[in-house]
Amino acid sequence: MYDVVIHVYFHGMATSRLIEQRETKQKLLETALHLIWQSNYDSVGIVQICAQAGVTKGAFYHYFKSKADLATAAFEEHWQRVRVDFDRVFSSQNSAVERVHNYCDLIISMQENKLAQSGHVVGCPFISSGQSTTEDKLKNLSIEIIDRMTKYFTSLVADAQREGIVEQNLDSVKIALYMYEFVQGVLTLGRVKNDLKIVKTDLRPGLLRILGIKN
């Protein structure tokens, strides 16, 4: 009986320790994403991240070798969360035009939520955070995210062509790139001017215009 009690006791301690470790790592991920997204990669340091997360530097280095490793993990985790929304928005069950409207609604909602949290228009975390081009991990992730988003738009444009909305002879990949570049331009302008009205006013009609659709 005594052995059973000891086993249960140490098992409980191990479980609690595991939960605590997961929570510590999650705090670092969430804090890094918040600070870098709100400011930029180069201006946010490990000390600041640890202080705001309530985590020691020793704990930081237990989970991550560098700030670049943490930032990369934080942005990848963020992508995995928002990807669920993008899958829903760009579902082939929706028409091409419905996908544009759903996408704009999602982006505006995301920006409204971040504005309420931080008091600032923050734009796209993968672009407007100013990730250093000297950090290969961050640079490669940003390029990968661009490719992932472009595939969503390419599928949208291809379906718009099948629906007779976009001319068949046009390059769907190029149009998709135009759409994504336009989105980033609008979000960046909204961030620089700290004006969400720019995103609300320009995003939807601009994307529709690129497709050749009158708003």
In contact, 155 and 92? CB cutoff 8 Å: yes
pLDDT of residue 48: 96
What would the DSSP string read from start to end of 38-62?
A: HS-TTT--HHHHHHHHT--HHHHHH
Residues 137-151: what's their mean pLDDT?
Answer: 90
pLDDT of residue 44: 93
What is the band of 138 on the pLDDT scale with cuts at 50, 70, 90?
confident
Dihedral pair phi/psi, residue 166, rounded to 5°? -110, 140
What is the band of 39 on the pLDDT scale with cuts at 50, 70, 90?
confident
Q: Is the pLDDT of residue 5 over 60?
A: no
pLDDT of residue 130: 59
pLDDT of residue 9: 45
- Mean pLDDT, the chain, rounded, equals 89
Residues 84-96: what's their mean pLDDT?
Answer: 96
Residues 15-42: what's their mean pLDDT?
Answer: 84
Spatial distance between the Cα atoms of 114 and 6, rounded to a whole number of angstroms: 47
pLDDT of residue 20: 62
In contact, 183 and 207? CB cutoff 8 Å: yes
Specify the DSSP element, H or E, that contains 171: none
* DSSP 8-class letter at 117: H
In contact, 180 and 124? CB cutoff 8 Å: no
Instruction: Identify the weakest region by mean pLDDT among 6-20, 71-85, 105-119, 147-161.
Output: 6-20
Counting residues of the chain whose pLDDT is more than 70, the rounded percentage is 87
Phi-psi category of residue 130: left, alpha or beta, with phi > 0 → left and psi -120 to 50 → alpha: left
> Domains plus CATH for the chain?
2-210 (1.10.357.10)
